[in-house]
Amino acid sequence: MSVLLDNLDLFIRGFLGTIQLFVIAAIGSLVVGGVLAAMRVSPVPFLRGAGMTYVNIVRNTPLTLVLFFFAFAWNRLDIVTLPFFALAASGLIVYTAAFVCEVLRSGVNTVPVGQAEASRALGLNFGLTLSQVVMPQALRAVVPPLVSVEIALLKNTTIAAGFSVVEAGSIIPSLSERGYNVLVGGLWVALGFVILVVPLTLLQRYLERRWRVAR
């Protein structure tokens, strides 16, 4: 307990950084992933090809390299200079969005084709068909894998510690500098992540029960 209590400020600051980074990246990845999923199922060949290219490239690129690019190469492009926290969030969004896209696309494929045909017969265009008819049904089918992607995102935030971002992954090096037992500190960090994952799991079960009844 002394490792935790003596360094409580360090743990609080680290996990607050993790939560902030996760919330921003989760929202961003859901938005970007939704756009990519729409591109993947679009009737326009160019959009389908662009979406597929993005997913194939990003999914096969290690997250460390993605964050390395944003941390060390982005500001050298002289587009917009951003702080490391924003760069880390951008890298996580870009990486996670590819996985969110594939989860949503798999959900779209579970919706019967007749649903889209019926909506088109009623005069709805592709955008309205996707947003009002297909996607709401698809989301019900992809809750477990989508939550799993977000849980993986939560754990991936620790990689940002290597790029000067204060979050839970930076706690262990800080404990080492202070001369504390890093093994015990690592166990406390692991417990902290378990506590953070529990609400996501409960949310998944709640949505599954609610939408199962709705169907």
Mean pLDDT by runs of 10 across the 215 residues of the chain is 69 82 91 89 86 91 86 75 82 92 85 72 73 75 84 83 62 71 77 84 79 54
Answer for the pair 191, 10: CB distance below 8 angstroms, yes or no.
no
HSE-up (13 A, CA, CB side) for residue 77: 9
Residue with tokens 């798999």: 106
116-125 long-range CB contacts below 8 Å, 24 or more apart? none
List of domains in the chain: 15-168 (1.10.3720.10)
pLDDT of residue 7: 67
Residue 43 corresponds to which tokens in the numbers above? 């009737």
CA 106 to chain centre: 17
Residue 51 corresponds to which tokens in the numbers above? 């979406």
Cα–Cα distance for residue pair 162/101, rounded to 1 Å: 27
pLDDT of residue 166: 55
125: alpha, beta or left, given left = phi > 0 and alpha = psi -120 to 50?
beta
Cα–Cα distance for residue pair 28/92, rounded to 1 Å: 9
pLDDT of residue 213: 46
Cα–Cα distance for residue pair 161/95, rounded to 1 Å: 17
pLDDT of residue 24: 92
3-state DSSP assignment of residue 159: helix
pLDDT of residue 96: 93
H-type alpha helices, 60-142: 63-68, 84-110, 113-121, 126-128, 135-141
> Quick count: other Cβ atoms within 10 Å of Cβ 14?
23
